[in-house]
Structure 1
Amino acid sequence: MDSCTTNYAVAQASDAAAVVRDETITSVMDVQAGCRWLAELPIPPFQQHRILRGGHLQTLIGARMGHTDHVGDAVHRCHSIELADGDTLVAHDDEPQNWTPAKGSVLLLHGICGCHSAGYMVRFQRRLNEHGIRTFRLDMRGCGDSAPLCRSITHAGRSEDVLAAIEFIARLVDDVSSPIGALGVSLGANQLLLAAGRVGSGKHTAPVGWDRVGPLLAIAPPMDLQLCSDAMESAKLRFYNWYFIKHLLRRASAPLRERDDYQAMLRLPKPKTLRQFDRQFTAPLAGFDNERDYYRASSAVSVAADIAVPTLIVTSADDPLVPVRSFTTLADRLAQRTQQGTAPKAAGLHHGAVRVHISAAGGHHGFMQRDRTGWTDELVSDFYGSAFASSPARSLTAASDVG
């Protein structure tokens, strides 16, 4: 405890309407001195568009922001990542001109309806490439270019797939001084946090290259799946249920459609809510007993306090899909562990390294600003530009930095 600097400041944020407009609600820290750059990283408040205000409008416009075509002068390659069960992921590798391993790489993970070509994935790729950082946009199981290569589906609990991708990057960029960051949006953010938390708690074996990993950035993660499912039952979110179910059924890969169990599921009445979809499709296809078992096992909130890699979690209080309560619950858990001195210890980390930043507005990864730019676009480039410039990955967890 003596060698650690802890800063914990949280406002009661269960009611988004009670916060000051366009201001940060809370920025929670549970960090040690070795990650001081994370504690001191300035995060400017989100100034939402004057007309496109409110969680729903921000969410909807955010889904339409950005280009879906690859742009820039980076060298583009595709890599296949073979998984233990026979499925294959596809990683889209964009290497900037004059890139060197010291400049680092970032793994990008998409949301439930996304893939490598989602607008935000391409925007983040461009931003990072402009800063000289190499990016790997991953197509998770059944998504994008991985669709014809997978009989299984992606879901919130696929932490082992994230670790497989990280190990692939570490082996491809075989340089111990080359940092590996990872960024997830929505479902991909939960997968990322779950992976880091499971490694931190010992539930997963750290993959090759894990000592080079950091920092992590999770945007709008549905960390408490049961809480999110409860919220989605509201009649006000009927459109979102319809949209997700329509997309997920349409996206089913050819190998998945060939499965007898999937065909049997299609013969049942069509689900009307995401909870019904998870009960009928997600849980049984992924090997869970039911949707409650899936939610319990796959929620990152259960292990997020065990993360021992510098991590920034960003969300908004008016996100219509992810209740802010799951983040204030995590903040309380981080504070309790810090006070008790039971936060994870690993490679010089005497306490966890998680910062939770809750904006008063922004919707579900909408964040369109008054100048019509994306707030998270700037955050992503500033975050990794600062992290990789301050120290390579190995020094982020070096004992010599503590104290």
Structure 2
Amino acid sequence: MTFSVHRFEPPSFVPHRWRRGGHLQTLLAPRPTMSISEWQKLSSGVKSEKHRLPVSDNDTLILHDDTPESWLGTPRGSVLLLHGICGCHAADYMVRFKRRLLAIGIRVFRLDMRGCGESVAYCRGITHAGRSEDVLAAIERIADLTGEQAAPIGAVGTSLGGNQLLRAAGRIGAGLDARPSYWDRIGPILAIAPPIDLQACSDRMESWSLRFYNHYFITQLLRRAKSTLQMREELGSLLDGRAPKTLREFDRRITAPMAGFPCERTYYAESSAHSVVEQIDVPALIVTAADDPLVPVDSFVALRDRVHESTRVLTMPTGGHHGYTQSDGTAWTDELVAKLYDSAW
């Protein structure tokens, strides 16, 4: 790959004047950059289908595939979109990214991770930060679906999906996982607000000031866990008693045992991307915000000078946890995703 993330000029970001600070940027959703009429016109030339993706432990994921008409003539490239902890293929940001990429002729794949979206009915397991093998399974399927041509494959991971993506690329760069035959087609990859140090994020979430976020995440995660545990009678007792009060307690009582970890600390240590992110050797852009209330910016400060030359850490002064609402109410990350791949390919 000849594209350099260090020479890439990100779009300028002028924050919304009334959404100052990390909390407001995080909590107030941006509006779409594409109108309904613009999307209706674009979608008429898009072919959409779904693929079943078998993964470990007899689980199956659903991979949503959207192909613009122009791609069928001259394949420009494909991008895999990975959602966050409570997301799925239909999350607002996943849909916004998809539309912006389709508009510039790029084929888009959106993955429903284990227990999420349309994958729920086919999974006995749950997604977690360390599911990098599922990311690689999706990329391998994309490589097969797009044929042997040299068309590149990118990936965008948001929040938890960003950690999964960086961990996947880092493990290959470190030699911990075999380098696939298609790996020279990979890049650039983009991770937005990735929790690369899960222990640090867990420590942050223990703060009383973040009780609202704990309540929101746990409510969403418990709903998912209940549907998954109905298929696993041997783990049904995990939901006995009062509901977890913090994400750490949820990880201790539910995530770790369901995913096969002895405790939450082992889960954090083995699933965090920070242990391998320095070994990523494909073009990679990592974006974080100094005022992210959920992911400590300290996780990235020392990393900036230690990563491989193919990787760039971009710390924005504001933006919250994947908020980045601009002065016109739209999301800066929509512009970033579109410009990154338009520049790269």
TM-score scaled by length of structure 2: 0.94
- Per-residue displacement from partner, 1:35-78 (whole Å, max 9, x unpaired)? 5632211124421101111100110113x6449x9862311111
Is the CA contact (8 Å cut-off) linking 1:163 and 1:207 kept in structure 2? no
- Per-residue displacement from partner, 1:364-385 (whole Å, max 9, x unpaired)? 0001100111100000000001
1:77 aligned partner = 49
Is the CA contact (8 Å cut-off) linking 1:102 and 1:179 kept in structure 2? no
Letter in 2 for 1:246: T
1:386 and 2:343 correspond:
yes
In structure 1, what is the Cα distance between the partners aligned to 2:81 and 2:168?
14
1:320 and 2:320 correspond:
no
1:133 aligned partner = 106
1:244 and 2:208 correspond:
no
2:64 aligned partner = 92
In structure 1, what is the Cα distance between the partners aligned to 2:312 and 2:226?
37
In structure 1, what is the Cα distance between the partners aligned to 2:293 and 2:25?
10
Name which of 151, 158, 181 aligns with 2:154: 181
How far the C-alpha of 1:208 sits from its partner, in A, is 4.3
2:197 aligned partner = 224
In structure 1, what is the Cα distance between the partners aligned to 2:121 and 2:227?
6
Letter in 2 for 1:52: R
2:139 aligned partner = 166
Name which of 376, 382, 385 aligns with 2:333: 376
The 3-state SS of whatever aligns with 1:38 is coil
In structure 2, what is the Cα distance between the partners aligned to 1:253 and 1:98?
43
How far the C-alpha of 1:303 sits from its partner, in A, is 0.4
1:194 aligned partner = 167
Is the CA contact (8 Å cut-off) linking 2:66 and 2:107 kept in structure 1? yes
Name which of 357, 362, 366 aligns with 2:314: 357
Letter in 1 for 2:52: S
Deviates more, 1:188-197 or 1:95-104: 95-104
Cα-Cα RMSD: 1.7
Letter in 2 for 1:57: L
Identity %: 58
How far the C-alpha of 1:84 sits from its partner, in A, is 3.0
Name which of 233, 251, 258 aligns with 2:231: 258
Is the CA contact (8 Å cut-off) linking 1:108 and 1:121 kept in structure 2? yes
How far the C-alpha of 1:262 sits from its partner, in A, is 3.0
Is the CA contact (8 Å cut-off) linking 2:10 and 2:340 kept in structure 1? no
Is the CA contact (8 Å cut-off) linking 1:65 and 1:120 kept in structure 2? no
How far the C-alpha of 1:332 sits from its partner, in A, is 3.7
How far the C-alpha of 1:329 sits from its partner, in A, is 2.5
1:61 aligned partner = 28
Name which of 39, 50, 58 aligns with 2:6: 39
Is the CA contact (8 Å cut-off) linking 1:198 and 1:306 kept in structure 2? yes
Name which of 14, 17, 21 aligns with 1:50: 17
Is the CA contact (8 Å cut-off) linking 1:58 and 1:367 kept in structure 2? yes
The 3-state SS of whatever aligns with 1:37 is coil
Letter in 1 for 2:320: G
- Per-residue displacement from partner, 1:185-231 (whole Å, max 9, x unpaired)? 00000000000000101111123422211110000000000000000
How far the C-alpha of 1:253 sits from its partner, in A, is 6.2
Counterparts of residues 265-344 of structure 1 (less than 5 Å): 265-334=238-307
Is the CA contact (8 Å cut-off) linking 1:307 and 1:352 kept in structure 2? no
In structure 2, what is the Cα distance between the partners aligned to 1:49 and 1:87?
42
How far the C-alpha of 1:323 sits from its partner, in A, is 0.5
The 3-state SS of whatever aligns with 1:99 is helix
Q: Which runs of 5+ in 2 are unaligned?
A: none
Deviates more, 1:103-112 or 1:198-207: 198-207
TM-score scaled by length of structure 1: 0.81
Letter in 2 for 1:193: L
The 3-state SS of whatever aligns with 1:242 is helix
In structure 2, what is the Cα distance between the partners aligned to 1:143 and 1:119?
15
Structure 1 residues 65 and 371 mapped into 2: Cα distance closer, same or farther (>3 Å)? closer
The 3-state SS of whatever aligns with 1:85 is helix
Letter in 1 for 2:150: S
The 3-state SS of whatever aligns with 2:324 is coil
Letter in 2 for 1:374: A
Q: Which runs of 5+ in 1 are unaligned?
A: 1-33, 335-350, 389-403
How far the C-alpha of 1:112 sits from its partner, in A, is 0.3
1:155 and 2:128 correspond:
yes
